[in-house]
Structures are given as structure tokens and as C-alpha cells.
């Protein structure tokens, strides 16, 4: 998955506020 694809998917998901502060990488999402 490219960064552009991930950005679209990430925006569609309910992302925790702490993750938004990190920019929400795939690794952070998987390990969260």
C-alpha cells in the first residue's frame, strides 16, 4: 500500500487523537 492509498484509508477510519499527532503511520496503526 502506498502512502497515498494509506492516507485515503486512514482518513476513512476513526483515528485516535494521539495517532493524528504522529501522522499515523502504518506501523503505529498495526501495533496500536
**Taking the model in full, what pTM does it have?**
0.34
Query: Residue 23's pLDDT is what?
Result: 55
Residue 21 has, within 13 A of its CA and on its CB side, a CA count of 3
CA distance 29 to 14: 11
pLDDT digits (tens, 9 = 90+) for 1-32: 798 888 888 778 776 666 666 555 556 555 55
DSSP collapsed to 3 states, the chain: CCHHHHHHHHHHCCCCHHHHHHCCCHHHHHHC
Predicted confidence at residue 12, as pLDDT, reads 80
Cα–Cα distance between 23 and 30 in angstroms, integer? 14
Contact criterion met (CB below 8 Å) for 26 and 1: yes
Amino acid at each position: 500500500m502506498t502512502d497515498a492509498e494509506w492516507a485515503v484509508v486512514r482518513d476513512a477510519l476513526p483515528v485516535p487523537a494521539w495517532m493524528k499527532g504522529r501522522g499515523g503511520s502504518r506501523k503505529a496503526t498495526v501495533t496500536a
